[in-house]
A = this chain, B = another copy of it.
Amino acid sequence: LNEITVLNKYNFNHKVSCRCLLNLLHLLFRMKVFGVLVVTIQLALSHAALDWLDAVIIDNYNAENIAEAQFQGNQISEVSLHEEPLPPPPDVKDAAKYARYIVHYSSWGSLSHISWQPFTTALPIARAYSISDGPIGKGNGVPYFLMTIRDNEMQDIVKDPRASLTCSLAQSNFCRDKAYDPEDPRCSQVILTGKFAFIPNNTAEWKIAENAMYSRHPIMKTWPKSHDWQFAKLFIRRILLVNYFGGNKYPSVESYFKADPVVYSEENPFNNVNFS
């Protein structure tokens, strides 16, 4: 028990003696703050892991710049909550564009984080939140949120920003209309994994986030100010797309942000019919 088995990338078994760590754990256990300390150590390790990921990530992009460039004015298109059928999706082989399509046409998603609440300490947990990457036809690919720090979940995510956003076409009528089971890979889903961050007030991106959220969720403009609503976003590190048989696809973050978010044209009858 005073050895930890380590599986490295090549599946060799190493054994690393670490009486040190176990002594520490034993000490913590005797201090009767075991749960809280496990939390703290995991937080320390996870931050280390995030910094390490930052260093190795290949897709070096600046989401702010992209968002800035694609932001076109401040017009608010009031979109009804009643969702019309989606415009037809892009070619399943164009993974980056397909991922953009799902994110853009999703009005909400499941945001995963690590819980630091009693009874769920260090357990992964997802909660459904409204999202928007911009007004219909003008999305920039960045998932924005409007959050209140009153939620326990938000308090946890501030401490530990590791997060994923999952959006499935099962949320729309797409899969039902096609008779795809929600677990059928053609009932497409995208999972954006990275880091959650609040957006500082009155910055350029704050205006973009405000426009994105209010245009797609106009009711939010009326939500009580006392709840301290704050705009937030997800920094994307990795994109997982499931949209056909044959396994996961991983479009690069760069190709995702470069992909044309417009999946319909002037000629496409869906253009002005469904989202006006």
Q: B125 to A181, Cβ gap below 8 A?
A: no
Q: A121 to B7, Cβ gap below 8 A?
A: no
One of A93-101, A112-120, A259-267 at the interface: A112-120
One of A67-75, A163-171, A199-207 at the interface: A163-171
| Oligomer: number of copies | 2
CB-nearest residue of chain B relative to A151?
B248
Could you give, for residues 176-188 of chain A, a 1 whenever the CB lies within 8 Å of some chain B CB and a 0 otherwise?
1001111110010
CA distance A40 to B17 in the complex (A): 13
CA distance A27 to B16 in the complex (A): 10
Q: B23 to A52, Cβ gap below 8 A?
A: no
**Given A41-B45, A81-B181, residue A113 in contact with residue B124 (CB < 8 A):** yes
- Which are the 6 A-B pairs with shortest beta-carbon distances? A108-B182, A110-B110, A130-B183, A128-B168, A112-B124, A124-B124
Residues of A within 8 A of B (CB): 4-9, 14, 16, 18, 20-21, 23-25, 28, 33-38, 40-42, 44-46, 48-49, 52-53, 56-57, 81-83, 107-108, 110, 112-115, 119-130, 146, 150-152, 162-164, 166, 168, 170-171, 175-176, 179-184, 187, 189, 191, 193-194, 217, 219-220, 237-238, 240, 242, 247-248
